[in-house]
Every structure is written in structure tokens, then in C-alpha cells.
A and B are shown apart, each in its own frame.
Chain A
Amino acid sequence: MKIIGLIIVVVTGALLIYAAADFPAWSDPASPASTYLSPYFIEKTMEETSVPNIVTAVLADYRGFDTMFETTVIFSAGVVCFFLLRISRREEEEPETRYYRHVLTGVTIQLKEGYKIPPSADFERIDAVWTPPDLIIKTGCRILIPFIQLFALYVIAHGHHSPGGGFQGGVILGASVILFAISHDLRTAVRRMSEKLIGILCAVGVSIYAGTGALCLLLKQNFLDYSALAGVLHVDPITARSHGILMVEIGVGIAVLATMIWIYNNISSAGRYRQGL
């Protein structure tokens, strides 16, 4: 296998190097890629969409259709992880000994199969291998998480004016929740943000994007033509495009946030929703 691999690699590499002979040199301002479409985007974006960040404008407006499917790719990855890994409730809830912890005293209670304690603030359900979360990590994360989330919201909201947008902000937001799950344990994290909520948020995020596009369709314009929203938002068509971009960015942010957590939850626990693989 190693020799075959080497041969394939050498042949492919030779082909690529051969082709690179006809490429423009690096950072050549006169290359076709820099002179054909990009001047249009650079010079017209501000007039046509009133968004100073050209990447955001191209991402969410000129090529907004790509981005919608990009969000769908993330969404489908989340669904695939859930579909493949999640152990169905029937298999999981077979008679097993349950462990609870009395939060105030820290006493652990072991219950024989079939018994359970109704959900209350005094008791939390824990895994058999549960150990108390480390104090330093818990405190450190507790200090950091609010700032991380604030920053994430800033990144989403300022996608028009600075590097950022829905994907980046959504990932940071998701990372903050994952940090919480790491610093405490998965059960606590899932209790704060249930599986059902995450699953629905994923779909809601993508629906905000696709729904904005479909709204334009209903307003007698082409799909994703945000200028159709001008009448609804009471602004001129160009500002409407800017607002439309913000709407879809929020949708992207929600979808990415939820999917990141969903993928983490499923992969880190192999679908058992308990601690550890």
C-alpha cells in the first residue's frame, strides 16, 4: 500500500507542479482572478448593499445561495452525528442503578433499578464514575464564559463592519457552551441546554436563513433577493439588503452554535450522553 500511495502521490504532485507553470505569480495584481470579478465586487458592494465588509456582502448576498447550503452542510453533519451515534432511549434506559447526589451536602445516593427521584433542585443525577468538577477549572471557566459569549455576539453583530459574521460568532458561542460542558460535566451541560432544544435550534437557525429567502419569494422577487424586504422593513432596497444580510447572519449563528454543541455532545460521549467515551 505504501508503494502504491507513493506512486499516486508522485504522479499527482508532478501533474500539479506541471500545471503551476502556467499560473500567474503570487500576489500578481494583473492575474485573471484579480481583474475579472473582484473589481466589480470591490467597487460596487457599497453602492449595492451598503455593507463595507465585502466578504460579508459577497458571502451573504451575491453568493448567499452557497452560504445557505453551507449552513445546511453543518446542519446535516449534526444530524448525521446524532443519527449514527445516539443510543436510542429504549436501549439506554434499561434497568440500571441510578446515582444521585444531594447538592447541599454532597452525599451520593445509589438507587436500585427501577427507582428514581423526581427532578428537583436538591438532587442531581450523576454517573457512576462521577467526580466533583475541579474547582480551579470551574472558577476559571465561570469567569471567562460570559466574556466569550459577549465577544461572540459582538462578532455576529459586527459582521458588516469588521471581520466576523454568523459562522465565526456561532462557533465562538458554541465553544463557550462546550467549555462549560468540559469544566463541569456533560450531564450538567445537557440539563442546562437540553438535547431537544439543541436539535430544534439547529433547524430553526437554518430555517431563518431559508425562510428569509422564501419571504423574498413570497414578496414576488427571486429567492434570496433581499431588496424585496424593503416594503416590510420600511427602508430603501439597498438598506434592505444590508438588513437581510444581518437576518441571515443571525440564522447562521444560531445554527452553527447549536450544531457545534450537538456534534460535541454526541461525539464526546459516543451517544450515551454521559461523561467520557
Chain B
Amino acid sequence: MSEQYPALLVIVPLLSALVISVAGWVNKRLCFPIAVAALGVAAWSSVGLLFRVLDEGVIVYKLGGWSPPMGIAYYIDYLNGLVLPVVSIVALLNLISSKKIVEQQFPDKAGPFYTLYVLMVTGLLGIVVTGDAFNLYVLLEIASLTGYGLLAMGEERAPLATLNYLYMGTIGACFYLLGIGYLYIVTGSLNMVDIARLLPPLYQSKAVLAAFIICMVGVWLKMAFFPLHAWLPNAYTYANSASSGLIAPLMTKVMVYVMIRLILTVFTPKFVFNTLAVHDAVVWLAVIAIVMGAVLALKERNLKKMLTYIVVAEVGYMVGGAWLGNRAGLTGAVLHIVNDALMTLCVFLVVGNIVYKIKGYAFGDLKGLFAKMPFTMGAFVIGALSIIGVPPTCGFFSKWYLILGAIQAHQYGFMVALLFSSLINVVLFFRVFEIGFYEPFSDHEGHEHHPAVMAEAPLTMLVPLYVVAISLILVGLYTGDIVNHIVQFVIPKGFM
């Protein structure tokens, strides 16, 4: 059975989504267990795949039995072998936590919600696993469309924010499609490995250059890289916490993965770093992204929105790391995909718990929260320390590699930006801690200060939160193993 893991990984969630949608009409209580089982199978097969990749190297799975480039094939190498378990496990943990939120916020629509949730995870897993450039576009659209649906279900402003996201997302996806079209017109192929094989004689072609620029702009739009980030904060802030807990950790990270995949596999580092040689400019863009993300986060008086700006800054870390063009930088970027997915999940789960209990996430609502929800806030501290980059949490190690890469590439601006944003993160999170710890709890209505009563979130929300929080430390402790056994094989030969 294990040779069918690549298919199962995507097919089981897809079929389960269909079953969930039928179950939504028959018996709503069945939806949640089916969703958990589906994502459980997906997580199981993704971990199985990772171990197979570690044993055997690159796995090729031919869909429909047609060999590439005629048909579509899956390629699982070290890069997506690492990203796949992260996507499926993050989605599974957030799913478990979302049960109570769905029951509280839209109990009637549990069926369509879980259908869309599982479909979105299908799309994300498919994006990561596929080896066909056009197939990636189709899956990207599945992930985006379901994402729009999930994000629009929230506060009053959510539909408008999501419509703006839809405009931007559609432009991004269309640009990607157009870039693939340009590659198709000059090579005649759609398979990533095949395109990379056919490209070298065409490196000087204007069409390939344009294809690269268009693809990159499209992907940057989707991942909210700084000047193109305008849709992200509102869309994530006003959504319900079950959806933002899925989309905030995964969507941007998966798009960073797509960017790295395009650089490494499709256009090859030789073209990107030697022929094109614009990486310095992109790193400077990343510097601006990090600084602006941090500064804009500083301005916010609202926990969830502050976190969304931190997401924008983190995207800058990863883009910058990938474009440094050396071994340490790329290692840092790949490692940061894993770490940032977990860190963002951790803090967004905390926000979900807070919203579930307090029904608000402005700074004013956080007063006395350490007394009221000690366990939630405990996990928040771990997540915050990881985002700041305090050892032994995992955030420290990826930042370490990024800084190392910056120094090797003589990109001191990037290094300074990383340190600056760490400092800003310290300010941001300690401000939250201060409000939560020292200011007494007060009701929305009355001003009378009464001793806070402990009112912790239910266990189904706390358990996933603690799994993530502990994994933050574990991933940090085992960073060396991850780098030695997986990440170092991601980096192509000839990289500095």
C-alpha cells in the first residue's frame, strides 16, 4: 500500500470532503469525525512518505499511468517531503480545535464548513506534492476558492476584506497561469522537471525572463510579500478564528514553498542567481517587508491584527532567506517554513481560544487574561518567545541560519532587519503580556474590578494548542537532525 501514499495523500481528503458534504445533509454530527479521520489519514501518509523519501530518495508517482511529460506526475523529494507533514499536521490540529468554534458560531453550517476545510487542505497538499506546473494552478485555485469561502464567514467586515483578497488572489493566480503559458510557448512542456531540462538554451530569451517575473509577482501577491500585502491583515483579522487558524499558518507558507520550488526546480538556481542576478534587489525588498511589517504591527492596538502584520514580516524572512542565494540562507528559509507554520498556528490557536471565551481580541479585552486563562496564555508565551527567537524554541534556529546566510552573502541590511524585527517583536509581545498580567480583568459593561475567575477554554481546544507549543520546543531541540537528514538534501549541488 505504501507505494500508493502519494495518491492517498490527496485522494482521501478529497473523497472525504464529498462524504462530509453529503453527511451535512443527512446527519451533521458525522461531519467532524469524518474530517478528523480524513486529515488523520493524510497526516499518516505524509509522514510515511517522508520516511520513504529518507530511505529511497525522490519518489515519482504517475497519475493515470502516463509517464511525464504526457501525463501528470507527482514528485516527492526532500523539500516537499518536509513540507507535507507540516501542512497536514497543522491542518489536523487546527481542525480539532475548531470543533467548538463551529458549534458556537455557525452550528447550522457545520457540513459546508468542514467540506470546505478538508477541500482546502486537499488543495494545499496537492500544491505541495505536484510536479506539474499547470496542475499546481488548478490546486491553487481550489485552495484559494475554499479559502475565500472560509475567510468571508466572520464579522461584518469579513466579506469586503475577502472580496479584496479575491481580486488580489485572482490577479496572482492569473499571473502565475500566464507565466506558465509563457514557459509553455517557449518550451512546449508543462512538467516542472521537463521545463527545467528544456530551459538552459533559452536563458537569454526575453520570454523566459518575463515568465519568471510574472510568476514571481503572482506568487508574491498570493503570499502577501510587502508591497503586495494590503489584502492580508483585514482578510485574516475579520475572519472566524477556525478559518484564520488554518489559513494564516498555511497559505503563505505553501506559497513560499511554491516560490522556492519555482526557483530550485523550474527556473533552476543557475538562471535565477547567475543569469538574472537580481537577488540583491529582492533581498532589499525583503528587508523593507520585514521592517514595514514590524512597524505596522507596532501601530496596531488589536491582538489579531498585530499578528497578521507579524505574518507579513515573517514572509519577508522567508523570501529574503530564499533569495540570499547561499546554503545557510536557503536552509533558514526552508526551516522557517516549518517553524513559522507551527508558530503562527500556536498564536492563532491562542487567539481562537481567547475569542471563544472573551468574544474580543482588542488589547482592551486582554486585561487579566493570565489569571483567567492561564493555560492558554502559557502556550501564548511559548509561541511568542518562538516568534521573537529565544532559544531553545525553534524560531531561534531558523533565524540563526538566516542571519548566518546574510553574513555569508554580505547582506548586512537583511541581518539588521532581522535583529530589528526581533526587537520589535519583543516590544509587541511584552506589551501584550503586560496587559494580560498586570491590568485587572474587567467586564465589557461595568467598570467594577472583580477578582478574575478562571474560565479556561475547553479541552478540545487546549490539547491541540499544547501539542503545538511542545512541538515548538521539540522542533527547536531537533533542528540539527532536521537540517542534517532533510534540509541539506534540498539544496542543489553547486550552491555555496
Contact = CB atoms under 8 A, between A and B. Distances in A.
Contact of A62 (B66, B106, B138): B66
A221 B115 CA distance: 28
A123 interface: no
A24 B206 CA distance: 12
A217 interface: yes
Contact of B185 (A31, A86, A226): A31
Contact of B142 (A34, A73, A207, A214): A73
Contacts of A196: 25
Contacts of B61: 222
Contacts of B62: 222
A15 B208 CA distance: 12
B66 A76 contact: no
B306 interface: no
A211 B69 CA distance: 25
B460 interface: no
A78 to B, nearest CB: 9
A76 B149 contact: yes
A203 B21 contact: yes
A234 interface: no
A184 to B, nearest CB: 25
Nearest to A17: B210
A37 B7 contact: no
A22 interface: yes
Contacts of B14: 68, 72, 206, 210
A223 B25 CA distance: 29
A277 to B, nearest CB: 16
Contacts of A63: 71-72, 134-135
Interface in B25-59: 25
Interface in B436-469: none
Given A40-B70, A77-B145, A214-B11, A207 B18 contact: yes
B492 interface: no
Nearest to B206: A22
Nearest to A81: B149
Contacts of B396: none
Interface in A215-231: 217, 221-227
Interface string B186-209: 111110000000100000011101
Contacts of A32: 185-188
16 contacts: A16-B210, A23-B185, A32-B185, A34-B188, A36-B189, A62-B71, A63-B134, A66-B132, A66-B135, A72-B14, A83-B116, A89-B108, A199-B24, A204-B22, A214-B15, A227-B65
Interface of B: 4, 7, 11, 14-15, 18-19, 21-22, 24-25, 61-66, 69-72, 106, 108-109, 112-113, 115-116, 119, 122, 126, 132, 134-135, 138-139, 141-142, 145-146, 148-149, 152-153, 159, 182, 184-190, 198, 205-207, 209-211, 213-214
